[in-house]
Structure formats: C-alpha cells, structure tokens
C-alpha cells in the first residue's frame, strides 16, 4: 500500500487559493490519487480523483507531476465553509481498500 504524507495543518485567509500537497513516493503503476474532505462529525466526502497531469472539477483542481510521487489539491478562493480536514488517498481501483492518512486540517480565517 502506498503511504501518503501530508502537512498536519494549514491556515489560509478567505478568498485565497489554497494548495495542499501530498507525498506518495511508492505509488504503484495502477494507483489513482483521490482526495476527500471531512467536516467534524460527518463522513468524508469525495472531492476529486486523478491518475496523472491535471484534473479539474467544479470545486477543486488536482495537479499530478509526471513522476506521480506527489500531488497537489488546489482550492480556489476558499471560504470559511472550506474549513475541514482534507485526506489524500492512493490506491488501485479494484474497489478493495482505501486507507486514509492523517489528513491536513485546513482552517480558513476571516
């Protein structure tokens, strides 16, 4: 299983772009990178998933360099409601197992 490393916490002001980087040095060829968001006392919620290069959806972008040993979740113009824990997961898509790391606790400051 590819282990992930993320910063424990980050602070940002409202309206700023936030980039959270995840390291996954031993990612396997078949592994995808998936990011989840979790608010207190709620289940994690899927944000975005990618394999390589760049993926963008309505809430975030995911940047993956060519070596795929890291990835960066980009949240444009964060608001107070984006305060949450963000998890990076790495795994293949056999649907068997997805292990969460320690996550990054993002605090958005007014």
Partner 1 sequence: EPEVTQTPSHQVTQMGQEVILRCVPISNHLYFYWYRQILGQKVEFLVSFYNNEISEKSEIFDDQFSVERPDGSNFTLKIRSTKLEDSAMYFCASSGTGGERAGELFFGEGSRLTVL
Q: Which residues bind partner 1 (CB under 8 A)?
A: 32, 34, 36, 38, 41-46, 49, 87, 89, 91, 93-103
β-pair partners for 50: 33
Nearest to 6, CA basis, from 96, 19, 30: 19
Q: At its nearest, how many Å lie between partner 1 and the CB of residue 22?
A: 14
Nearest to 48, CA basis, from 58, 34, 38, 37: 34
Q: At its nearest, how many Å lie between partner 1 and the CB of residue 15?
A: 29
Nearer Cβ to partner 1, position 15 or 57? 57
Nearer Cβ to partner 1, position 32 or 63? 32
Q: Please provide the DSSP assignment of 56-85 as one string.
A: E-SS-EEEE-TT-SEEEEEESS--GGG-EE
Nearer Cβ to partner 1, position 78 or 89? 89
- Exposure on the CB side of residue 48, measured as CA atoms within 13 A: 20
Q: At its nearest, how many Å lie between partner 1 and the CB of residue 34?
A: 4
Q: At its nearest, how many Å lie between partner 1 and the CB of residue 45?
A: 7
Nearer Cβ to partner 1, position 80 or 93? 93
């Amino acid at each position: 299983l590819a282990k992930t490393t993320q910063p424990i916490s980050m602070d940002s002001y409202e309206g700023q772009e936030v980039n959270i980087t995840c390291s996954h040095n031993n990612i396997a060829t078949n592994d995808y990178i998936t990011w989840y968001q979790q608010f207190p006392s709620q289940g994690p919620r899927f944000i975005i998933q990618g394999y390589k290069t760049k993926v963008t959806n309505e809430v975030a972008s995911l940047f993956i360099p060519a070596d795929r040993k890291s990835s960066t979740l980009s949240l444009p113009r964060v608001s107070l409601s984006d305060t949450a824990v963000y998890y990076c997961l790495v795994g293949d898509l056999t649907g068997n197992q997805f292990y969460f790391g320690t996550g990054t606790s993002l605090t958005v400051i007014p």
